[in-house]
Amino acid sequence: MLNIVCFGEVLWDEFPDHKKIGGAPLNVAIRLQSFNNHTAVISRIGADDDGEKIISYCKKQDVQVDNIQVDETLKTGIVKVMLNEKGSAAYDIKFPSAWDNIQFTESAKKSTQLANAFVFGSLVVRNDASKKTLYELLKVAKYKIFDINLRAPYYTPSVLKHLMKEADFIKFNDDEIYEVTDLFKSTSRSLEQNIMFVAEQTDTKCICVTKGRHGAVLYYDKVLYYNSGYKIKVVDTVGAGDSFLAALIDKLLKGVSPQEAINFACAVGALVAGSAGANPPISVAEIETFINA
CB contact at 8 A, 265 and 8:
no
- Owning domain of residue 231: 3-292
pLDDT digits (tens, 9 = 90+) for 6-34: 999 999 989 888 898 999 999 999 999 99
pLDDT at 87: 63
Task: Please give the mean pLDDT across all residues of the chain.
Answer: 95
CB contact at 8 A, 216 and 266:
yes
Better-scored residue on pLDDT, 166 or 20: 166
Q: What is the pTM of this model?
A: 0.95
Query: Vertex 67, ends 246 and 71: CA angle to 5°?
Result: 115
Total tally of structural domains belonging to the chain: 1
What integer is the mean pLDDT of 125-134?
A: 98
Of 78, 82, 77, 85, give the one whose Cα is nearest residue 102: 77
pLDDT at 81: 82
Q: Does residue 90 carry a pLDDT above 80?
A: no
CATH number at residue 247: 3.40.1190.20
Rounded Cα distance between 276 and 87, Å, is: 10
CB contact at 8 A, 17 and 132:
no
Distances (CA, A) of 31 to 181, 242, 249: 29, 8, 10
Q: How confident is the model at residue 239 (pLDDT cuts 50, 70, 90)?
A: confident
